[in-house]
């Protein structure tokens, strides 16, 4: 008889995936100092204190939490909430964190994590990206095993151009999701990595991650995410110059979403942008203008209007260009830092098309500077080329496709018509 031990049942040998650690800090010397920079006055101090409380609570063991705060901590925190003039959406989550300081041993991790996520979302919606990231990170420390919470940290870090930090959080998301069977978060982790590598200009790696995300949605029956996966592949195929493949992905994304899906306006915007870059200015302009009523947030409208400005310039409509660009310039401060360079670049291109040379030069220089600050290599190089063109009073490289296959043009016109009709059916976001 062999001396080897009998193998235990399969259920006892199931592999537990190693969960990789993720970077805790980015640009802040101390986590959370961005809150004091982002939010002025009493509210900023209150948010910083609440974040510090939650971070201390998360770092302590359950048995040690009772000794973290002073006896009057809850009363002091609630008094600060009342005196700071807290916006209504922050009242409930800040009250939860105040109660946590009063009864740290009784505060549930799910409640604390939810409060932190709610504050992070509010900060993000109000353009405080660094503070939103700090709060999301605290939520991930509280809910250490939750893949969806880890993904939020990665996404915010990527948007803040903290690319190394973002990559570590997306990989942690994938490992947590695989271990827990959270397949939507598993797919989103690869979507996030794909977007990160796209922003860094590494197109082959971006494509591989996005293909992996699509395969996950198919294999796991994630119908709600399959449209997003096709949408992402459309974007990277455009950057790789695979125009026929890109248009096919666009059609598949639209069909996966369905005509009344909330993401159709975003898909329509991205596809209209693609048509604009290949010379289809009139087609793109029609879709951009159909999209506008679906975006009521100023930051989103500015992105769409920058497309209107460029398409109008390319279509030889100088008055429509000037009208759109005036609205863009008036609202530029409302644009998220992750979109500023691209918005300015589209304005510069539209200005060149209508001979507005000084405007084109100014916008291209600002776009180049913004892209350099964020490490967006492909945007910076494009802005340099546009700036050179503006200084020479030259013409942009031809975007037309005189040899484009007629069937591809017909397919594009058909998809544009479907977008416009779909946007009409869904109605205005307002």
Q: Model confidence over 104-158: pLDDT tens digits?
A: 988 899 999 999 999 999 999 998 999 999 999 999 999 999 999 999 999 999 9
CA torsion 69-74-76-78 (nearest 10°) is 150
What does the pLDDT look like over 272-320, one tens digit per residue? 999 998 999 999 999 999 999 998 888 899 999 999 999 999 999 999 9
Q: Is the pLDDT of residue 21 over 80?
A: no
Q: Residue 184 half-sphere exposure, CB side, CA atoms within 13 Å?
A: 9
Query: Would you tell me how many other CB atoms lie within 10 Å of the CB of residue 300?
Result: 21
Coil, strand or helix at 262: coil
Nearest-5° Cα angle at 201, 32 to 222: 75
**Distance in angstroms (rounded) separating the CA atoms of residues 153 and 151:** 5
Q: What is the mean pLDDT of the chain?
A: 90
Q: Is residue 85 helix, strand or coil?
A: coil
Whether 205 shows a pLDDT value over 80: the answer reads yes
- Please give the DSSP secondary-structure letter assigned to residue 333: G
Residue 340 makes CB contacts below 8 A (sequence gap 6+) with 332, 367, 370
242 contacts: CB under 8 Å, gap ≥ 6:
none
The DSSP call for residue 18 is: P
**Residues in CB range of 36: below 8 A, 6 or more apart:** 44, 45, 48
- pLDDT for 334: 85
Give the residue carrying structure tokens 């590494």: 202
Give the pair of three-digit tokens for residue 177: 């999701």
pLDDT at res. 406: 83
Q: d(Cα 246, Cα 226) in Å, to the nearest integer? A: 16
Average pLDDT for 365-387: 92
**Above 50 in pLDDT, residue 12?**
no
Asked if the model's pLDDT at residue 24 lies above 50, the reply is: yes
pLDDT at residue 264 is higher than 60? yes
* Nearest partner of 276 among 412, 132, 104, judged by Cα: 412
Q: CA 186 to CA 171: how far, in whole Å?
A: 9
**Upper half-sphere CA count for residue 355 (Cβ side, 13 Å):** 4
Q: Which residues of 305-344 are buried (b: 16+ CB within 10 A; e: fewer)?
A: bbbbbbbbbbbebbebbbebbebbbeebeebbebbbbbbb
Nearest-10 crossing angle of helices 406-426, 264-277:
150
pLDDT at 4: 44
Phi, psi of 184 (to 5 degrees): -60, -45
Q: How many CB atoms lie within 10 A of CB 71?
A: 7
Question: What are the percentages of helix, strand and coil residues in the chain, rounded to 5?
Answer: 75, 0, 25
Per-residue pLDDT tens digits for 155-188: 999 999 899 999 999 999 999 999 999 999 999 9
- The residues, any chain, with a CB within 8 Å of residue 5's CB and separated by 6 or more, are none
Q: Which of 146, 160, 139 is nearest to 188 (CA)?
A: 146
């Amino acid at each position: 008889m062999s001396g080897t031990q009998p193998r235990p049942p399969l259920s006892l040998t199931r592999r537990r995936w190693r969960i990789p650690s993720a970077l805790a800090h980015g640009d802040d010397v101390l986590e959370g100092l961005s809150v004091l920079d982002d939010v002025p006055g009493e509210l900023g101090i209150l948010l910083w204190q609440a974040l510090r409380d939650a971070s201390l609570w998360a770092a302590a063991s359950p048995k040690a939490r009772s000794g973290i705060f002073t006896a009057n901590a809850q009363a002091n925190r609630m008094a600060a909430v009342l005196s700071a003039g807290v916006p209504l959406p922050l009242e409930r989550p800040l009250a939860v964190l105040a109660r946590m300081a009063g009864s740290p041993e009784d505060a549930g991790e799910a409640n604390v994590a939810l409060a932190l996520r709610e504050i992070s979302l509010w900060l993000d919606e109000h353009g405080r990206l660094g503070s939103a990231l700090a709060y999301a990170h605290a939520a991930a420390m509280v809910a250490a095993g939750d893949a969806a919470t880890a993904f939020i940290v990665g996404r915010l870090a990527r948007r803040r151009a903290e690319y190394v930090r973002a990559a570590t959080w997306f990989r942690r998301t994938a490992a947590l999701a695989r271990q827990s069977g959270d397949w939507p978060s598993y797919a989103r982790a690869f979507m996030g990595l794909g977007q990160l590598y796209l922003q860094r200009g590494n197109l082959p790696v971006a494509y591989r991650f996005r293909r992996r995300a699509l395969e996950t949605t198919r294999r796991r029956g994630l119908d709600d995410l399959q449209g997003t996966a096709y949408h992402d592949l459309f974007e990277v195929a455009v950057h790789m110059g695979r125009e026929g493949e890109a248009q096919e992905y666009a059609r598949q994304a639209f069909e996966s979403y369905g005509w009344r899906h909330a993401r159709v306006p975003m898909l329509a915007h991205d596809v209209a942008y693609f048509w604009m870059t290949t010379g289809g200015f009139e087609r793109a302009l029609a879709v951009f203008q159909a999209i506008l009523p679906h975006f009521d947030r100023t930051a989103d409208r500015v992105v769409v209007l920058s497309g209107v400005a460029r398409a109008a310039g390319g279509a030889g409509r100088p008055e429509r260009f000037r009208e759109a660009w005036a609205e863009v310039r008036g609202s530029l401060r409302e644009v998220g830092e992750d979109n500023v360079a691209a918005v300015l670049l589209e304005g510069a291109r539209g200005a060149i098309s209508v001979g507005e040379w000084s405007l084109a030069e100014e916008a291209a220089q600002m776009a180049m500077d913004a892209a350099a600050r964020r490490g967006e290599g492909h945007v910076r190089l494009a802005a340099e080329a546009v700036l050179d063109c503006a200084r020479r009073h030259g013409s942009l490289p031809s975007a037309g496709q005189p040899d484009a296959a007629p069937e591809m043009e017909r397919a594009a016109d058909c998809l544009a018509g479907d977008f416009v009709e779909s946007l009409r059916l869904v109605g205005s976001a307002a």
